[in-house]
Each structure stands twice: as C-alpha cells, then as structure tokens.
Amino acid sequence: MTHTFFETHRDTLTRAVEAIHSRTCWSAYPEIPSGKVYGETAKDDGQKAFEARLNQPFDLPGHPGAGRTGAEASPYGFDLGITYPKVELNELFAVVNRAEQAWKQASVEDRVGVCLEILHRLNQRSFEMALAVMHTTGQGWMMAFQAGGPHAQDRGLEAVAYAWDEMKRTPAEATWSKRVGKEETVTLRKTFRIVPRGIALTIGCSTFPTWNGYPGIFASLATGNAVVVKPHPGAILPLAITVDVARQVLTEAGFDPNVITLAADEISAPITKDIVQRPEVKIIDYTGGSAFGDWIEQNAKHAIVYTEKAGVNSVIIDSVDNLKAVTGNLAFTLSLYSGQMCTTSQNIFIPREGIETSEGHKSFDEVAGALVKAVDWFLGEPKRAAEVLGAIQNENTARRIDQARSEGLTVLRESTPVTNDAFPKARVRSPLILKTDSGDRDRFAREMFGPIAYVIATANTDESIRLAAEVARTQGAITCALYSTNPDVIEKAEHATADAGVPLSTNLTGSIWVNQAAAFSDFHVSGANPAGNATLCDSAFVAGRFRIVQSRMPIAN
C-alpha cells in the first residue's frame, strides 16, 4: 500500500527536487480555484464540508483525549462552535511514543510516499481548507484558498523534497576496502541507517496556520519523527483538518494514526509551554510572536528549535521610474490581509528632500501623498476592499491601531472600519499611515503588527539603507523593498541587506509584491537576523531532524 503511494507520486517528487535545485518557477498544486481543475462541485462540496463542521465536535478516530476543548471565533463575526479532543500530556506522549516505533523503522520511500499522499488529499480538500483558513485567520477567501491551500501544500512538498534529497545523500550501504599490509586487505560492509531524532512539535500561528506549519510537519514526518501539532487556539480548524487527513492516510498505509496528533487548547488555558518542556520533544517548529519564540529558543535546550518570529520590514524609496506604478504596488502590499503578513512592510523610508522620478523631482510630501492616494483608490471599490483586506484576526491587533494613532504622529491616512456586505459583523480596518522622522527610532524600530505603516523622512538614501539594515539586524526583518533607478544604490542596498540577513526585492511593480514568497524559489526568513533562526526551506531545515548511525562488519575480500 505504502509503496503504491510512493510510486503514484514519484514524478511529483522528482520535479520538486529539480525545482529546489534550479529555484525556477514551479508549483505542484494549482493556485486557481477553478472547477476545471478541482472538479465542478469542489467549491460547493467544500462549503458543505465546512458548514457541517460548525457547532460540532471534530471527530478524530483513535485520537487520545479526555473531554473537549476549543473556542474559535471567526474574525468575520461568528463563533465556530467546534470542539476538539482535549489531551492529557502523559497519555498523549505515551501513545505517540508507541506510534513512532513502526514509523521510524519504515523505509524512506514508505514515509515519503505517505507524506506525498497526504499532500495530494489536502490539495483535493482545498475549498474546505479555504473556508477553515478564512474563518480562523480572517484572510479574504481567495487568499485563504491560495495561501492556505495550494501554496501551503507546495511549501509542504518543498520540505519533503529537501528531506528526501538529504536522506538520499548518504548511501544506505558502502563497501570499504583498504590495503593494510603487503598481504592483508580489510574489507568492511558498512550500512548507514537513518535514525529520527524523536518526537517533533509544531506550534502553529493564527495567521498562516498551514503555510507556516506544513514545512515543519512534513519535514519531521518524512524523516521519521512523530509529530504533535499544537495549533494556535484561534486557528485550530485548518490544522485539525490536516491532522485528520494525515491520520486517514497513515491508517490506510498500515501505520498507527497517532504518528500525528493534535494538541488543541483555548486562550484561557494555554498548554504550549508545558508541551515545549516535555523531555520527549526533540524538535520544535515555531511560528509566532517574538517574545514566545525567544522564550523557546532560550529554554528548549533539549530540542532542536526552528523559529519564524516577527520582524520590522522596510521599504526604501530612492528614485523611481513611474511613481504611480510604485505606489500602486505598495498600496496592495499594505492592504493585503490588513498588513497581517509577517512579510508586510511597516517602515517606508523616503529622503526628506524628495526623490527623482521620470516625471521630474517629487517632494517627500508628494511621494507620501501619492501612496495615500493609491491606498484610497485601491480600497475605494468596497467589494475589492473587503476581499483584499479580509478581517483583523484578533482584537489586540485592532487595539494596536488605536495605540499607534494615539502617539501624536501626523496621520497621513486614517484607519477606518470598512463594511463587508457578506459579513456585516466582520472586524475590518483599513491601513493607518503615519508620518515621522529618521530620529524617531522608538516608534518605527519596533514591530507594530497589523495595518500600520510609518512613512519616515530621512537625510538621504544612505540613511534609509542604514536604518533599514540596522532595524533588520536588531529587531529582525523578513522582507525589504527597494525602489531605485541607480545601479550603485541597488548594489549598496544589496550588500547592506545581505549583511543584515534580509532578502531584498527591487523595483517591484505590477503583479508581484514584496510580501509574496514562492515555494521552491524564495527562501522565506533567512535565519540570519532576529526574525527567526531557520529558513523555509534549505538543507539546514531538514538535516538536523535525523541522524545517521552506522554499522560495519568485515566481509570476505
């Protein structure tokens, strides 16, 4: 059965491995939510499946637990009413440990085959997943479909490809023959066994539970580790569906479904710290806020820790060809999912003397004004605004906007509630844009997560580059955008941002945005500044999840 899975998806794996080596544009799972691709009834089926989940216990056959937990509320204004098994940690780790025994002995092909089949079935469930992601994270439907479905599946597949590649780098066996004397040759048969590290824990976030969760989950599974999935209490459903699908595939393949388990909780009774401190946990993948991520990095010394935390992302505007194309591009970046992406820009550095454009010199205020105008125009169409902004995932983010508003800076653009006709109770806020100066580090050199941007007047582009790099180095950063028509400036910025460990996107206009990261090509988070210690994905992300233990024995020469 398991070998069937591997053979069925072997081509996908081969192409994924080629893609990570070439880093050209490739995707295994179609991002267009089309009936032609997914089946004409797929959208309706997904809607029905999602609705059937509401106000019901989420059933996970054979899953440990005593009682139920879960209190998710859609940012679009209603309670999901779904409950999940409430796990008791001693019982959880006992069953996971048992389940892991056969999983770690399975062949690389069997494990990878199971992973590929799980991804395939998740792909088929993308419409259901879209609604699960939408009504936990607050993403608009289209984004929830793409980022929560096929793009997340691609990132999972990328992790499987890296794991496969890594496990296959060392041969399973070798013959070692050495002449040790005039008459004597020693010949050893050596076997190299892949030994997984132990139980892996994936800690999900509230904004991209699948996209950020899949790489760690699939990298750990493929390399033979059992995985405990600890979703954010505000976004359990997408990972519960994932775990459910994975358990079905594991069962069909003859494995204990508890190779992957769900450890759900509620905000009022968090269990993450307790799980992190369990000595059985040998691998931790974390996505979320910096404070808790730092705590894990400092305290989980018994485990390998991979983190994606938060950062402060910059835009450096030096000189532009077409100002309207630039501000239009940035307007989308600031609006998409109300700035709740870890890749969204927060600080926009512009020389206070203004910039050169193909239409002549533009003052600081003219550039800032053009940006505000672009956001206003973009959000002027209510249906588009509702779809792109989505909803604010939680009340703290909404309150943060008020906090930023109250600090006395000049408001270039007010954040206003926006009506969503389909969901009148949705928590929607448009981007707040504030103006400040390069001396105001206390304000801009901190993460203000949500639809909050600072337009910052600098002495010149040199200062802009220096500040963007400095903030990245001290606070972390995941993206940096540059607009410049000057090759020397581009080169200088490339050096400075590389040194600060932040990827640079230069002169993006049209249908490509700084906050996008493509699986198989873009390394997401560099691991080289405080925004995180790992990358999605590279060898370092997978190589530590298993060890090679050898056995050697003489054979006849």
* Binding residues for a second copy (CB under 8 A): 21-25, 166, 169-171, 174-178, 180-181, 184, 186, 188, 190-193, 195, 197, 297-298, 301, 490, 494, 497-499, 501-512, 518, 521-523, 526-528, 535, 538-540, 543-544, 547-554
Residue 91 vs 173, nearer CB to a second copy: 173
Type of residue found at 270: P
**Pick 274 or 499: Cβ nearer a second copy:** 499
Least separation in angstroms between residue 148's CB and a second copy is: 20
Give the nearest distance from C-beta 24 to a second copy in angstroms. Answer: 6
22/403 with CB nearer a second copy:
22
3-state helix, strand, coil in the chain (%, to 5): 45, 20, 35
Query: For residues 127 and 160, what is the distance between their CA atoms, to the nearest angstrom?
Result: 23
Q: How far is the CB of 303 from a second copy (least distance, A)?
A: 11
Nearer to a second copy, 168 or 425 (CB): 168
Give the count of alpha carbons within 13 A of 142, CB side only.
11
Q: What's the token pair of residue 160?
A: 């499987």
User: Tokens at residue 465, please?
Assistant: 């580059």
Give least dist CB 224 to a second copy, A: 12
Alpha-carbon span 60 to 240, nearest angstrom: 9
Residue with tokens 């950063």: 477
The distance of closest approach from Cβ of residue 168 to a second copy in the complex, given in angstroms and rounded to an integer, is 10
Q: How far is the CB of 497 from a second copy (least distance, A)?
A: 7
Length of the chain measured in residues: 557
Is 329 or 397 the residue whose CB approaches a second copy more closely? 329
User: Counting beta carbons within 10 angstroms of the beta carbon of residue 470, is it exposed (0 to 12), middle (13 to 18) or buried (19 or more)?
Assistant: middle
Report the nearest approach of a second copy to the CB of residue 197 (Å): 7
Which residue lies nearer to a second copy by CB, 60 or 517? 517
- Nearest CB to a second copy, comparing residues 21 and 446: 21
Helices H, strands E: what count in the chain? 21, 21
Q: Give residues with Cβ within 8 angstroms of 222, minimum separation 6.
A: 108, 111, 112, 115, 159, 160, 163, 164, 167, 542
* C-alpha–C-alpha distance, residues 322 and 55, integer Å: 51
Computed from CA positions of residues 375, 379, 381, 385, in that sequence, does the dihedral angle turn out positive or negative? positive
In the complex, minimum distance from the CB of residue 553 to a second copy, in angstroms, rounded to a whole number = 4
Q: Which is nearer to a second copy, 161 or 409 (CB)?
A: 161
Instruction: State in angstroms the smallest separation of the CB of 310 from a second copy.
Output: 18
Cβ 460 to a second copy, closest distance in Å? 22
What torsion, rounded to 10 degrees, do the Cα atoms 128, 3, 29, 517 define?
100
Cα 75 off chain centre by: 20
Listed in sequence order, the residues at least 6 apart from 181 whose beta carbon sits closer than 8 Å to its beta carbon are none
Q: What angle, 0 to 180 degrees and rounded to 10, lies between the N-to-C axes of helices 10-22 and 150-167?
A: 90
Please, which residue, 408 or 487, has the CB nearer to a second copy? 487
DSSP assignment string, 452-509: EEEEEEESSHHHHHHHHHHHHHHH--S-EEEE-S-HHHHHHHHHHHHHTT--EEES--
Q: Which is nearer to a second copy, 55 or 170 (CB)?
A: 170
10 Å CB burial of residue 47 (0-12, 13-18, 19+) is middle
CB of 8 to a second copy, least distance (A): 27
Q: Could you identify the residue written with the tokens 């007010």?
A: 414
Contacts 24+ apart (CB under 8 A), 289-294: 290/447, 290/476, 290/530, 293/532
**Min dist. Cβ of residue 292 to a second copy (A):** 15
CB of 163 to a second copy, least distance (A): 12
DSSP string of 228-241?
Answer: EEE--TTS-HHHHH
Q: Is 356 helix (H, G, I), strand (E, B) or coil?
A: strand
Residue 297 three-state SS: helix
The separation between CA 50 and the C-alpha centre of its own chain, rounded to angstroms, equals 23
Nearer Cβ to a second copy, position 52 or 512? 512
